[in-house]
Amino acid sequence: MPRSLEPLDLGIQIPYHFRCPISLELMRDPVTVCTGQTYDRTSIESWVSTGNNTTCPVTRAPLSDFTLIPNHTLRRLIQEWCVANRSNGVERIPTPKQPADPTSVRALLSQASATSGAHVSARSRAAALRRLRGFARDSEKNRVLIAAHNAKEILIRILFSDDIDSSELVSESLALLVMFPMTEHDKCVSIISDPGRVEFLTRLLFDSSVETRVNAAALIEMAVTGSKETVSSSESIFEGVLDLLRNPASSYPRRALKIGIKALFALCLSKNTRHVAVSAGAPEILIDRLAAGLDRCDTERALATVEILCRSPEGCAAFGEHALTVPVLVKTILRVSDRATEYAAGALLALCTAEERWRDEAAAAGVVVQLLLMVQSECTERAKRKAQKLLKLLRDSWPDYSFANSDDFACSEVVPF
């Protein structure tokens, strides 16, 4: 039942024994503690997490242990009551998935990290990883529990093992690894600074499995962002990432696009790799995707990448030669978000500074009106400075003034995502 709906609004009364003694709301996952009292799992876990881990909230009896036993009978009664009162607007509570326990997690991680041989096969190791992935998918609490058992280090060791010869084991370890945030700098550096590991991930970008390709790009993005180091400037890594944007798989269209754009943005943050992105075809693919339409967050990140690549002469030239670049950038201003407006204006500023023909094209697309509106709007101060510079450039047409290839001009800051 939606928490916002009160029993009086529904014209029914929730049975007392269906309510959690702590929250007084309908229980969704009733569990029984060692004192015999039943609570909703979320409520009793919150009670314990705030330091009340010695006494039962209702009986005040000491909690000798904190084992939570699912009360399946009560949960089924609550579900039947929900179904019986469906006409009154009560929604049936779903059957909760049981959380992972530390013992199972330790056993599965031990099985997964065992060396493949006579006693442990690669298939059984992959099966253990698959079960862990199922736990991780179920809840954030499970992911925290798995990560607390040194899972990321174990998974990195499995994924990049020299003797790994099972594509299933590679796929499962990679899929599970990218479910955890990669915030540890040393782990990110251990991946991105190792040429052998980067080459391995690059090969996975061209794997026959779409899921593996997407997950490889996700791990590259996480490692580059977390390490803040420059990845190998091989064109293959850009080709693999761009392929996700060029041909997003039908089974993973949204995720493939999102991960592809995030990975490309992360890779282009380094000045040393931007020329590789341009030669790999990033300008054409980015503009095509922007023209086709993306959600707000993806649009912002794609435009930020466009602005970054426009800082180099070859980037400006590649974007300028695409017939849709200027119209797409002009159309984006003030239509998506403040960030998108700022990045679009920054890219236009770089293009219009580079060549007069792009100034004429921007003016013909109606950019002057958009820029005047920007100056009077509530967008960021950086965006307004870009608009003012662009208006002055279009009005006076300064042919010798160029900072399109500079990383230092103050009006072209790109806020990291």
Q: How buried is residue 408: exposed, middle or buried, by Cβ count under 10 Å (0-12/13-18/19+)? A: exposed
Least confident of 71-75, 265-269, 373-377, 397-401: 397-401
What residues contact 261, with CB distance under 8 A and at least 6 apart? Answer: 245, 289, 294, 298, 301, 302, 305
Q: What is the mean pLDDT of the chain?
A: 86
Q: Which long-range contacts (CB under 8 A, 24 or more apart) does 277-280 make?
A: 277/238, 277/309, 278/309, 278/312, 278/314, 278/315, 278/318, 279/235, 279/314, 280/235, 280/238, 280/239, 280/242
Long-range contact list for 271-275, CB < 8 A, 24+ apart? 271/407, 272/230, 272/233, 273/230, 273/231, 273/233, 273/238, 274/308, 274/309, 274/311, 274/312, 274/315, 275/312, 275/314, 275/315
pLDDT at 99 (0 to 100): 83
* DSSP designation for 211: H
Tokens found for residue 257: 């696009």
φ and ψ of 25, to 5 deg: -105, 165
Per-residue confidence (pLDDT) for residue 399, from 0 to 100: 40
By three-state DSSP, how is residue 241 classified?
helix
Q: What does DSSP assign to residue 88?
A: G
Distance spanning both ends of the chain, measured CA to CA = 36
The pLDDT score that the predictor gives to residue 405 is: 39
- Mean pLDDT over 220-230 rounds to 89
Query: What is residue 6's predicted lDDT score, i.e. its pLDDT?
Result: 44
pLDDT tier at 163 (50, 70, 90 boundaries)? confident
308, 414 Cβ separation under 8 angstroms: yes
Axis-axis angle for helices 356-364, 381-396 (nearest 10): 110
User: Predicted confidence band at 159 (pLDDT cuts at 50, 70, 90)?
Assistant: very high
Per-residue pLDDT, averaged over 241-259, amounts to: 83
Confidence check: pLDDT of 50 > 60: yes
315 with 346: CB under 8 angstroms? no
The string of pLDDT tens digits covering residues 103-143 is 999 999 999 998 766 567 888 999 999 999 999 998 888 99
Residue found under tokens 């993005």: 221
Asked whether residue 215 carries a pLDDT value surpassing 80, the answer given is yes
Q: What is the pLDDT of residue 404?
A: 40
d(CA 130, CA 128): 5
Average pLDDT of the segment spanning 258-271: 94
Q: What is the DSSP string of 1-64?
A: --TT--HHHHT----GGGB-TTT-SB-SSEEE-TTS-EEEHHHHHHHHHTT--SB-TTT--B-S
pLDDT at 299 over 70: yes
Evaluate if residue 285 carries a pLDDT over 50. yes
Task: State mean pLDDT over 176-182.
Answer: 94
Q: What are phi and psi of 39, to 5 degrees?
A: -135, 165
